[in-house]
Amino acid sequence: MSSTPTPLQTAPRKRWQGVRDFWARVTEGLALQQLWGQFKSEAHATYGLYSRDVDWDEIGKEKGTVKRYLFAAWALFQAMLMKLSPARRVLLLIAVILLIFQPDIRWGGNELTFGLGWMGAPILFVLLALELGDRVTMKRDLEIAREIQQWLVPDHPPLVSGMDIAFATRPQNTVAGDYYDAFLRSVPDANSDKSPLLVVVADVAGKSVPAALLMATFQASLRALSATSASLDEIVAGVNRYAQAHSLEGRRFTTAFLAEINLDTRELHYVNAGHNDPILRRASGQIERLSTGGPPFGLPLLSYGEISYPSARVRLQPGDLLFIFTDGVVEAVNETGQEYSEARLVPLLEAGPPETAAETLKRVMADVNQFVGYARQHDDITCLVLRVST
């Protein structure tokens, strides 16, 4: 007898396979534990969005626990309501009233009754569809902005003799305010026949689109000045002037670390503009912090006057490692609200084994991810690792 399955036998298998395929698309392959962790972090972030518009001090004055809970729920509902357009606010109110009060319409006395409560669910579905439509449109625009932004930063490190470079960035939103770059200047060094290596990591105050737009202007000004014969000090002064002209009276300042490396002498000339102090781990294991510089770029001239940016020089040796990062690394928080902090980062680099820049970067990012867990990322994370070859 033939063992070929009959259509009646294969139909249930196909249906079950279809269900499994649909579930895989919905969950993107995530396990239930991962889905629950993601939901908790998103719910916490959404609650924070709405709770900022609630006057908790006023609610705290209410007497009675039940009364406070009711007032808090009403305040959160109003906060959510006011995020919608006026027309959608009305639809949401109608849907809530229908679902809560379940009104009826009677025809011919009590002979014919129509319940209207069920209409609340379709109205909520329509609202959800409208909000999703807006989100999809915005996401498409943000994806285009992200593609443009990716053109402004290198997708792979430059190949520089004697230098091993790696970098990574993870935006909090689709687009980011962090900037990183490493490139050989087109103008040779004054004390060398080789073009110097310029390394920069910057962080524009704020997040998402406004920060990304200012990041683009920062990149443009830096690249333009670097193409001239200007020294690092002159580049820093020019970038600051440009940032002051586009900082919205200091509300959109930029922290940055800029360094120029002479590839013959391995001398690193740097300026730290209000940025997290990069970590220089010597081949011996000794840790140094590169802090010389001034305040962030873009502070208003009228408030702070003429700002100077002193620079410093250090000599890199074979085996030295330079780790430059933005505050999103050390300020990454887990589900309990604890920060990753430099207290975890510095020992991790100090005790690092002999490895490539890419391996160091991977190890640090993995440690940050493990610490954060399912907590939602609240800031852009960017790291640049430079190791001097032995």
Report residues of the chain scoring pLDDT below 70: 1-11, 107-113, 141-142, 144-145, 148-151, 173-176, 189-192, 206-210, 247-251, 301-305, 390
Share of the chain above pLDDT 70, in %: 86
65-111: pLDDT as tens digits: 888 888 888 888 888 888 888 888 888 898 888 888 887 777 665 66
Kindly state whether residues 181 and 51 are assigned to the same domain.
no
Which tens digit of pLDDT belongs to each residue from 110-119?
666 677 778 8
Q: Are residues 135 and 278 in the same domain?
A: no
Domain that holds residue 114: 18-145
Q: Which two tokens stand for residue 224?
A: 């333009």
Residues 101 and 230 in one domain: no
Q: Indicate whether 82 and 196 sit together in one domain.
A: no
Domain finish residue from 145, 174, 202: 145
pLDDT of residue 312: 93
Residue 349 included in any domain: yes
Classify residue 10: in a domain, yes or no.
Answer: no
Question: Is 171 inside any structural domain?
Answer: yes
Alpha-helical runs (H) found in 171-326: 208-226, 232-245, 301-304
Residues 6+ apart with CB under 8 A from 329: 276, 340, 345, 364, 368, 381, 382, 383
Can you give the pLDDT at residue 30?
76
Residue 230 lies in a domain: yes
Q: How many domains does the chain contain in total?
A: 2
What CATH number has the domain bearing residue 241? 3.60.40.10
Residue 4 lies in a domain: no
Task: Return the pLDDT at 322.
Answer: 95
Domain final residue pick, 145, 178, 204 = 145
| Residue 40 lies inside a defined structural domain of this protein | yes
Q: How many other β-carbons are positioned within 10 Å of the β-carbon of residue 95? A: 19
The token duo for 40 is 């908790």
Note whether residue 9 is domain-resident.
no
321: exposed, middle or buried (C-beta count within 10 Å: 0-12, 13-18, 19+)? buried
Domain end (from 145, 165, 192): 145
